[in-house]
Amino acid sequence: MSPLLQIAGLTAHYGDFQALFGVDLTLGQGETIAIIGANGAGKTTLMRAVTGVARVTAGAVTLAGDNITRLSAPDILVCGIAMVPEGRKLFASLTVEENLLIGAHARQGNGFWTLERVQSLFPILKERRHSPGTALSGGQQQMVAIGRALMSNPQVLLCDELSLGLAPVVIKEIYAAFPQIKSSGTSIIVVEQDIGQALRVADHVHCMMEGRITLSGRPDTLSRDAIHDAYFGVSHA
Amino acid sequence: MIWIDTLAQGLLLGGLYALFAAGLSLVFGIMRLVNLAHGDLIILGAYLILTIAHATGLHPFVAVLLAAPLMFGLGWALQTFLLNRVLGNDILPPLLVTFGLSVVIQNGLLSAFTADSQKLTAGAIEAQSMDLGIVTLGVMPVLTFASAVAVVFALNQLFYRTALGRAFRATSDDAVTAQLMGIHPQRVFAMATGIAMVVATIAALYLGTRANFDPSIGPARLLYAFEAVIIGGLGSLWGTLAGGVVIGLAQAIGASVNPEWQILSGHLAFVLVLLIRPRGLFPRAND
């Protein structure tokens, strides 16, 4: 069976600076993969390239067999890839409920995720629905950002640095929603600096360094040392 | 009693300025674009109503219903094919392009309609008034003010109660993240400018029925509109109405002291408000 999302030889630049060097990655239907790596490894650039925000200079992204590499960001969302951006990026002049509804702006037809289902996944979002999105705590804002992305009923959900700046107990609470998101049929890519968290949720883990994937495998087959080496770019003597 | 009359006339005049300004405020609020051709586009709207009224024999209040969709199309096309190309981090290109557009529209109108003054003839309603006991108000000024309130109310409903309004606000907050929601910012901007031109057409109707107009008066209307937007606080529609009223009141009060002071008083009020509240009367919290 062909993978749902296939990234092949993806290269991206910021001006003269090359941020991605021929990245290959596949995501199967219903699968969750994690991309780990230190700051500046190219994880966020990869997410931005897949969603059409950053310009791709070479390579291809195919979703369910369709080449979506050159599509604009809004069209890629319509194809079925939604992103929870790093730093959450809620709309400041929209309420919590409006932030969720805007996620469904381009939605065509029905799907599993509705306002009610997102609010039952994160009940606090119903309670605070009339508050400005940015008045919530960091963890609650992250819940809005995830809910907002789900509202488009994506085939693929990209989560960029969900745990950044959040307390461990809050991170746990957010990741507790993942089984339900997975059971709705959504395939997930999480980008994490929190290795432990990434290993817990993912079926496959890929480690990035300096714009390349340096290590890939199932969490149970990767040794701590191998991950450490790939993450920090050092070898154990 | 003369003071009450002056204040009432000033308030109603403010409605006209608010109509000039509402479209400008909408466009600025969404895309941070100051359209220097806004005044000329209002005058273009007045000529369009005039042309339709002459060609069809329709009353200006009916002709405006035909002019409005045409002006929407013009605004949409203007944004799609011209202004979207120059919007970016640098604020200078859109200023230069809309300044150029202003010159083009003025000269285009001059070629097409000559420099002769024109007026939209609305018939008996122009001279009608209503006696409220303490003051007597002209029907046209009251209608103008009521239209300004209705326009600002309608734009607010659009902004805060519809999916399009949500997209307007989201794009204004963060255009890159809005794209991740499936919003095409350039299409949103085209809708906004189209709607701004519909409002400009309503402004043109009252401008043209209340006084004479010719191709050269656009920039002065832009100035009043701009002052009203700044006084009200950038991006706040009710603020824009308040800003229009401030200028209208200042002009009426100035004129009652000395008719030569009318225009000057409006500008002085603008400076005064800026001195006391540099961000305007009702600034948006997140600007």
Q: Cite the DSSP H helix spans in chain B.
A: 2-31, 38-56, 60-78, 84-86, 92-113, 139-161, 163-173, 175-179, 185-210, 218-232, 237-257, 262-276
Position A1 scores a pLDDT of 59
Q: Considering only CB atoms, which chain A residues are within 8 Å of B178?
A: 91, 102
The overall average pLDDT reported for chain B is 94
DSSP line for A40-88: TSSHHHHHHHHTTSSPEEEEEEEETTEE-TTS-HHHHHHHTEEEE-TT-
Please tell me the distance in Å from B57's CA to the nearest CA on chain A.
Answer: 43
**Which tens digit of pLDDT belongs to each residue from A112-121?**
999 999 999 9
Instruction: Decide if A52 and B177 are in contact by the 8 Å CB cutoff.
Output: no
Boundaries of every domain in chain B? 2-276
**Structural domain boundaries enclosing A173:** 5-232
Instruction: Decide if B166 and A92 are in contact by the 8 Å CB cutoff.
Output: no
Q: Considering only CB atoms, which chain A residues are within 8 Å of B177?
A: 85, 89, 91
Q: Considering only CB atoms, which chain A residues are within 8 Å of B170?
A: 91, 93-94, 102
- Give percent of chain B with pLDDT exceeding 70: 99
If you measure CA to CA, which chain B residue comes closest to A77? Answer: B182
Whether the per-residue pLDDT at A197 is higher than 60: the answer is yes
Q: Report the Cα B254 to chain-centroid distance in Å.
A: 23
Whether the per-residue pLDDT at B287 is higher than 60: the answer is no
CB A215 within 8 A of CB A226: yes
**Which tens digit of pLDDT belongs to each residue from A141-187?**
999 999 999 999 999 999 999 998 899 999 999 999 999 999 999 99
Helix axes B2-31, B185-210, angle to 10 degrees: 160
**Which tens digit of pLDDT belongs to each residue from A42-59?**
999 999 999 999 989 999
Position A225 scores a pLDDT of 81
Instruction: Decide if B176 and A53 are in contact by the 8 Å CB cutoff.
Output: yes
Whether the per-residue pLDDT at A224 is higher than 60: the answer is yes
Q: Indicate the DSSP class of residue A223.
A: -
Position A229 scores a pLDDT of 81
Q: Which of A53, A93, A102 is nearest residue B181 as measured by Cβ atoms?
A: A102
- Give percent of chain A with pLDDT exceeding 70: 98
**Which tens digit of pLDDT belongs to each residue from B54-104?**
999 999 999 999 999 999 999 999 999 999 999 988 989 999 999 999 999
Position A108 scores a pLDDT of 80
Determine contact: A55 vs chain B, CB below 8 A: no
Global confidence as pTM: 0.92
Q: Considering only CB atoms, which chain B residues are within 8 Å of A91?
A: 169-170, 173-174, 177-178
Q: How confident is the model at residue A234 (pLDDT cuts 50, 70, 90)?
A: low
Whether the per-residue pLDDT at A202 is higher than 70: the answer is yes
If you measure CA to CA, which chain A residue comes closest to B174? Answer: A91
Please tell me the distance in Å from A144's CA to the nearest CA on chain B.
Answer: 13
**Which tens digit of pLDDT belongs to each residue from B87-96?**
988 989 999 9
Instruction: Decide if A74 and B163 are in contact by the 8 Å CB cutoff.
Output: no
If you measure CA to CA, which chain B residue comes closest to A48? Answer: B180
Whether the per-residue pLDDT at B271 is higher than 80: the answer is yes
Please tell me the distance in Å from A222's CA to the nearest CA on chain B.
Answer: 34
Q: Where are the beta strands (DSSP E) in A80-192?
A: 81-84, 156-160, 187-192
CATH of the domain at A113: 3.40.50.300
If you measure CA to CA, which chain A residue comes closest to B161? Answer: A98
Does residue A237 lie in a domain region? Answer: no
Position B145 scores a pLDDT of 97
Whether the per-residue pLDDT at B284 is higher than 80: the answer is no
In a mutational test of the A interface, the residue from B159, B177, B181, B286 whose CB has the highest number of chain A CBs within 10 Å is B181
Please tell me the distance in Å from B253's CA to the nearest CA on chain A.
Answer: 37
Position B12 scores a pLDDT of 96
Position A237 scores a pLDDT of 45
Q: What is the mean pLDDT of residues A98-104?
A: 95
Whether the per-residue pLDDT at A71 is higher than 80: the answer is yes
Q: Which of B167, B182, B286 is nearest residue A152 as measured by Cβ atoms?
A: B182
Q: How confident is the model at residue A227 (pLDDT cuts 50, 70, 90)?
A: confident
In a mutational test of the B interface, the residue from A93, A144, A157 whose CB has the highest number of chain B CBs within 10 Å is A93
Number of domains in chain A: 1
Q: Which 3 state secondary structure label does DSSP give A131?
A: coil
Position B118 scores a pLDDT of 95
Q: What is the mean pLDDT of residues B125-139?
A: 90
Question: Apex CA A130: angle with CA B238 and CA B281, to 5°?
Answer: 25
CB B228 within 8 A of CB B67: no
Residue B214, CB half-sphere, CA atoms under 13 Å: how many? 7
Q: What stretch of H or E contains A22? A: strand A17-27
**How many interface pairs between A and B have CB atoms less than 8 angstroms apart?**
68
Residue B168, CB half-sphere, CA atoms under 13 Å: how many? 26
Position B286 scores a pLDDT of 52
Q: Considering only CB atoms, which chain A residues are within 8 Å of B284?
A: 93
Position B234 scores a pLDDT of 83
| Architecture of the structural domain at B2-276 | Orthogonal Bundle (1.10)
Take residue A204 and report the two structure tokens written for it: 């496959």
User: At B7, phi and psi to the nearest 5?
Assistant: -65, -40
Q: Considering only CB atoms, which chain B residues are within 8 Å of A85?
A: 177, 180
Instruction: Decide if B180 and A92 are in contact by the 8 Å CB cutoff.
Output: no
Does residue A154 lie in a domain region? Answer: yes
